[in-house]
A and B are shown apart, each in its own frame.
Chain A
Amino acid sequence: MRRLETRWGILMALPAILGFLIFTIGPMAASAFFSFTDWTIGASPSFIGLDNYTAMVGDELFWKSLTATTYYTLGSVPLVLIVSFAVAMLLNQKVRGLSAWRTIFYLPTLVPAIANVVLWIWIFNPDFGLLNSLLRQGGLPDSQWIYGESTAVPSLIIMSTWGFGNTMVIFLAGLQGVPRHLYEAVSIDGGGAWRRFWHVTLPMMTPTIFYNLVVGVVGTFQVFNQAYVMTEGGPNHATLFYVYYLFRKAFTESEMGYASALAWTLFMIIMVVTFLMFRNARRWVYYEMAGAR
């Protein structure tokens, strides 16, 4: 039985193991190697050591893309977290027709990425788009939205907030898991809604907030479609997001070596940021287990 189990065990895990080797480990090693080469498709790669990485330091567009991406992340993640937390709090009251409300708020996340992008190009249209029409009706000045250098990234941040449904559903699940007796304890001590929120809900929700924060940061750092379809990185490189810049280097300018170095740099940035978030988490994330120490 024991040997049979081992044989079956390995056999059944084999597709996953092979897939990991072929589609993760192999390409990872290859791109690490390519990142030390000067390589255009068709030619053979020539080893140039750290040149790609040092070239990045002097690459104005690299810095531009890093800034644009960071800007987008810093704007989008907190906004999505706050909006989805607030709506989840509302839905966690005894709301009638909960599933209907939840569906409404979840709906935007179902829109396929490209359809979403096409729809928002129209919404942002400076002449006849939804947003400028509303502004005009309210007697406010127009905006250039994604066509203005300073408004492009904020526009995409607004657009990203529309898809807060996934985060909201996760918050809602977290809120429903907060033990009821804790609220009762606060009430017995004479605490009101604000104290219940501040001393029970918020601390108990920190693990969920942390999860959504990490997923949000890692996700927004890899934003691509909006830059590719909506803005082509413009105007004046304002939305030259990192992965879009990488894509352009690799598949438009065919600088595969440099693009690989960009990819590994992104990987390292994400690792460092994630590490810092986890280290910082000890200060504010409450885990029931850790609390017992």
Chain B
Amino acid sequence: MTAVAAPEKAGSRGVAPTQGLRKPRRYGRILLYVALVLGAIPTLLPFVWLVRSALMQDAQMFVSPPEWIPSPFQWSNFGEALTSQPFGRYFVNTLVIAVISVLGTVLTCSVAAFSFSRLRWRGRDVVFALLLSGVMLPYAVTLIPTFVMWQELGALDTIAPLTVPSWFAGAGGGVFNIFLLRQFFLTIPFELDEAAYIDGASPWRVFWTIVMPLSKPAIIVVTIFTFIGTWNDFLGPLLYLQSEENYTLSLGLASFQSMYLTQWGYLMAASAAVIAPIIALFFFLQRYFIEGVTLTGIKN
């Protein structure tokens, strides 16, 4: 019983104990872990299936009942899949779009959030409320005119439609970032600004040297979510990018899928290669991920 009631190990984030008023009975604990394992199996099974298929020869893949351990390990699936189409190029394209979008979003959203939280000007709150109301709009409504606009500007098949909006506070979903940053900025003591203004600092200086350095957690959250959002975006690249050399990973994978319909080894290898960077990123920044999702949920 003592082992069961032991406090959590350092490193996992603490939870407020809620149901632990009476010491739960042993079979209750066992049941709990059984339930968790039962939940984890279907959650992880698709990943196992993905990896096992990515490393298998076709012949073994079509055996019934299914085999789980590749023999031999067909590492060449990765090589074949990733060189049959220029996935390296897609990777770079995606990275370029994601980095430009993250820079634009973080910069313009935090500047706006600063204005909406720490500068007083007439009409400020009305403007902010108006911007927020845009969150409700389904993307389908703006899709067609926006497409036509970029077409008229001759910007189809360039990264402009996928990156320029982020330099205007990200359009659509960007409002949410402003909201998140604003909430965070409001928790920083206003005395800091006042002291700086007395020393003759400009609002920009206050923003850049005081507020931004103190807001790293919020900025990291916005960075992560913008990065993932653009990295995983499919509809945007599908609409705007036409020539293969400009494809992103998502677009490349979709076209790869339509070409290699039944080459499951290659398809799974390519998918695994597309998934891996995001999962790696997650393990480095895990704390911020969960914090970010939590922040988004608590906003109401």
Contacts and interface: CB of A to CB of B under 8 A. Distances in A.
Interface string B234-245: 110011000000
Contacts of B298: 170, 173
A48 B145 CA distance: 18
Interface stretch (A55-63, A71-79, A87-95): A87-95
Contact of A108 (B43, B139, B204): B43
A292 interface: no
B264 A122 contact: yes
A267 interface: yes
What is the interface residue range for chain B against chain A? 35 or more
B168 interface: yes
B86 interface: no
A274 B138 CA distance: 12
B144 A118 contact: no
Interface in A234-291: 243, 246, 250-251, 256, 259-260, 262-264, 266-267, 270-271, 274
B290 A102 contact: yes
Contacts of A6: 119-122
Contacts of B131: 16-17, 20
Contacts of A221: 138
Interface in B156-208: 165, 167-172, 174-175, 178, 197, 202-204, 207
A175 B18 CA distance: 9
Contacts of B297: 169-170, 173-174, 208, 211-212
Nearest to A173: B294
A77 B65 CA distance: 34
Kindly name the residue among B18, B111, B169, B296 whose own CB sees the greatest number of chain A CB atoms within 10 A.
B18
Contacts of B119: 5-6, 8-9, 12
Given A99-B286, A196-B19, A111 B12 contact: no
A127 B251 CA distance: 27
B130 interface: yes
B5 interface: yes
Contact of A222 (B6, B49, B138): B138
A115 B271 contact: yes
A225 B39 CA distance: 26
A117 B44 CA distance: 16
A31 B142 contact: yes
Given A112-B250, A128-B62, A243-B140, A87 B39 contact: yes
Interface in A189-227: 193, 196, 207-208, 210-212, 218, 221-222, 224-225
B154 interface: no
Interface residues of A, number: 109
Contact of A256 (B50, B144, B274): B144
Interface in B23-76: 24, 32-33, 35-36, 39-40, 42-47, 49-50, 53, 61-62, 64-66
B300 A27 contact: no
Grouping DSSP codes into helix (H, G, I), strand (E, B) and loop, the A interface class, with mixed when no group exceeds half, is helix
A50 interface: no
A113 B234 contact: yes
A192 B207 CA distance: 52
B115 A114 contact: no
Contact of A27 (B146, B253, B290): B146
Contacts of A31: 141-145
A203 to B, nearest CB: 14
Contact of B142 (A28, A111, A180): A28
Contacts of B141: 27-28, 31, 263-264, 266-267
Given A110-B282, A112-B250, A137-B65, A183 B18 contact: yes
B122 A166 contact: no
A112 B282 CA distance: 13
A166 B171 CA distance: 23
B64 to A, nearest CB: 7
Contacts of B5: 94
Interface in A102-136: 102-108, 110-115, 117-123, 125, 127-128, 130, 133, 136
B216 interface: no
Contacts of B102: none
Contact of B9 (A97, A169, A178, A266): A97
20 contacts: A19-B168, A23-B165, A23-B172, A95-B15, A97-B12, A98-B15, A99-B11, A114-B234, A114-B250, A115-B250, A125-B264, A128-B61, A133-B66, A166-B293, A170-B296, A187-B21, A210-B300, A243-B138, A246-B140, A263-B144
7 nearest interchain CB pairs? A19-B168, A170-B297, A9-B121, A30-B145, A23-B171, A16-B169, A27-B142
Given A13-B116, A112-B231, 16 more contacts: A6-B121, A13-B127, A23-B165, A30-B148, A94-B15, A97-B12, A105-B43, A107-B47, A110-B278, A114-B254, A115-B275, A122-B267, A123-B49, A170-B294, A250-B143, A259-B144
